[in-house]
Amino acid sequence: MASPHDDPPFSNGAFAVDLIGRFTHKLASLQGPVLADSDPEPLHQMRVALRRLRTCLYQFAPALQLPKAVADPRLAKTVRRLGMARDLDVLRERLERDLMPELPEAEQKALKPVLKQLRRERALAYEQVVSTLQSGGYLKLLSQLQAWLRHPELTPLGELPLLGWTLEWQAPMIAELFQHPGWFVLEWEGDMERVHDLRKRLKTARYGLENLGAVTGSRSRQWVAELRDLQELLGELNDLHVLEKAIDDQLPSGLAKSVPALDALLRRKAQGCWDQWRQRADGLILPERRRSLWMDLWLERRFDSPTEPALLAQPLPSS
């Protein structure tokens, strides 16, 4: 089977195998640092690697014959378990480093028990991380994936040259993106569940386009940047919403009465984030912008040309 590091052309399957191998190696290398828990960054990196691996396996599934143990439900469960601990890291850091310094001393004092509770919850969530990463199901998934990578099995589509097929790998990742109901929530205190689901959809679309980054051009990179900006705005909004609820649940008199300055600060930040999101979103869902995405990807496909193999060794993204 051709390797993505051989002279072009290389196959759909070889390209996918290279990506999967890099994400799998990343997961294996992070196992020790995550279990050591001396720094929150490895946990973040492992969560990102798992999400990217899920996207890659879904995107290139028609080119691959994977072992049964490499199943999406197992990966999804692992992402959720890691996500609980990672989210608590983010919430605590936001509260302690970004928000509390802007508050009156009395409110900072009132929030100390909240910080303590977030630490307790994080410790419990980390126990779930350890249990998950040492579980037979996760270790079997990792070992079977590593074994498959040594002798990968491809479908007939997987054996075909990648160049000329880039649009077919990109299109499913953005299909129905602009039909998501989250685009049409007009108030930031509206149906936020739909908005947060759109954030996940944007991330999947972005990952799917980034997966082909080594063999596509500037048009795709511009769209990746656009999707990343939108996803980060909604991520910021989600963090503020979750933090507001967590604090409100832990203060006997609620957030607004107990820490009014923090309540006002959170609302101001959320409103500013929402205003930016709506401005960007309203522009992006215009017919001409939606058509331009497909046109840009189509134009890049028309001019597919052999890519230097060294480009495929680009560093893995960290978010």
Question: Last residue of some domain: 158, 180, 207?
Answer: 158
Q: Which mean pLDDT values do the consecutive 10-residue runs of the chain (319 residues) have? A: 49 96 96 95 95 96 92 88 93 93 95 94 96 94 94 96 92 94 88 92 96 90 94 94 91 92 95 95 94 87 48 57
Task: Write out the residue range of the structural domain in which residue 217 sits.
Answer: 164-303
Let me know if residue 316 belongs to a domain: no
**pLDDT value at position 262?**
96
Judge if 204 and 250 occupy the same domain. yes
Let me know if residue 318 belongs to a domain: no
The residue to which tokens 């953005």 are assigned? 174
Dihedral of CA atoms 210, 216, 218, 223 in degrees, nearest 10, equals -40
Let me know if residue 205 belongs to a domain: yes
Judge if 127 and 236 occupy the same domain. no
Let me know if residue 315 belongs to a domain: no
Tell me the CATH number at 98.
Answer: 1.40.20.10
Judge if 102 and 194 occupy the same domain. no
Judge if 68 and 195 occupy the same domain. no
Measured distance CA(52)–CA(259) in Å, rounded: 39
Judge if 84 and 118 occupy the same domain. yes
Let me know if residue 99 belongs to a domain: yes
Judge if 57 and 177 occupy the same domain. no
| Radius of gyration, CA atoms only, the chain | 22
**pLDDT value at position 163?**
86
**pLDDT value at position 94?**
93
Let me know if residue 308 belongs to a domain: no
Judge if 179 and 295 occupy the same domain. yes
**pLDDT value at position 85?**
94
Let me know if residue 10 belongs to a domain: yes
The Cβ of residue 156 has, within 10 Å, a number of other Cβ atoms equal to 9
